[in-house]
């Protein structure tokens, strides 16, 4: 029997409907729309697509949105100066700098320059600290989206074995923190983990966020597990795929996310949720 498909588009549409209702109330109360600004440096093709999707999501829920496109030749100092301009703009509630930046730019310094109250990506050190202390209100978008999908499909976390493959600051580490906060028993695996399959086969909830096509195969999955695929890769034929070998894993897992149409839509939707929260906080 094949696994139940976790439909990120479905969950995303539900949440965006709720955000739209809250935006209408916000606009009536404060006479303005929540505002998001995206700073993009250069013309990286993937970044162009991701930014377009974010701006479309803003339009869908009725937010104000802008994209400041900077030349690839900009220095770290010039990008930070642009960030500081947006930090000072009272019409902007949420600010994100689209990553990755060109290699000559100091990414850490640019991310650190985003005002904490406008950091809707939740990449800054203050948000990371809040998350580790289980005090986070604005959460990293991809891990937060995954938690919303688990909630929607009534997949329990408390008391379950959870394995996160990947230890990035964007997905792996915050994902582990959120599962731990939900009372899961959490293991983080990574490129140095010996016998990865022995670890992943313990998981009731398995999240793979490595960026390696076909890494997780059916023989590495516990029967009935919920498998969440964060990977965005291209296979030998150029087709979009995740970290999970979908065809073999779906025959073993209880739940599985597709690529595309799984985690991706939820990441953008949680960005919208974070922007609404930042707007409400700004009015307080």
What residues act catalytically? 54, 98, 121
The DSSP string of 195-222 is SHHHHHTT-SEEEE-S--TT-B-GGGS-
**Residue 272: CB partners within 8 Å, gap ≥ 6?**
16, 19, 36, 57, 58, 61, 63
> In Å, how far from its chain's centre is CA 172?
11
Is residue 69 classed as helix, strand or coil in its secondary structure?
A: strand
């Amino acid at each position: 029997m094949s696994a139940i498909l976790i439909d990120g588009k479905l969950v995303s549409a539900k949440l965006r409907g709720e955000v739209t209702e809250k935006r209408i109330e916000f606009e009536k109360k404060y006479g303005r729309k929540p505002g998001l600004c995206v700073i993009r440096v250069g013309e990286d093709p993937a970044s162009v697509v991701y930014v377009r999707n974010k701006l479309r999501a803003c339009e869908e829920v009725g937010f104000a949105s802008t994209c400041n496109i900077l030349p690839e030749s900009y220095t770290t100092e010039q990008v930070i100066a642009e960030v500081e301009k947006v930090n000072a703009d009272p019409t902007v509630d949420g600010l994100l700098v689209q990553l990755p930046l060109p290699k000559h730019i100091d990414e850490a310094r640019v991310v650190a320059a985003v005002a904490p109250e406008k950091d809707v990506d939740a990449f800054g050190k203050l948000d990371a600290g809040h998350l580790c202390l289980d005090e986070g209100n604005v959460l990293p978008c991809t891990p937060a989206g995954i938690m919303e999908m688990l909630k929607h499909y009534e997949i329990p976390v408390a008391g379950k074995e959870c394995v996160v493959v990947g230890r990035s600051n964007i997905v792996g580490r915050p994902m582990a923190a959120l599962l731990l906060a939900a009372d899961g028993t959490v293991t983080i695996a990574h490129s140095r983990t010996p016998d990865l399959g022995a670890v992943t086969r313990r998981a009731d909830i398995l999240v793979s966020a490595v960026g390696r096509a076909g890494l997780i195969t059916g023989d590495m999955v516990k029967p009935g597990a919920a498998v969440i695929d964060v990977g965005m890769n291209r296979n030998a034929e150029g087709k979009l795929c995740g970290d999970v070998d979908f065809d073999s894993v779906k025959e073993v897992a209880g739940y599985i996310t597709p690529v595309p149409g799984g985690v991706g839509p939820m990441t953008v939707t949680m960005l919208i949720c974070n922007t609404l929260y930042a707007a409400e906080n700004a009015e307080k």
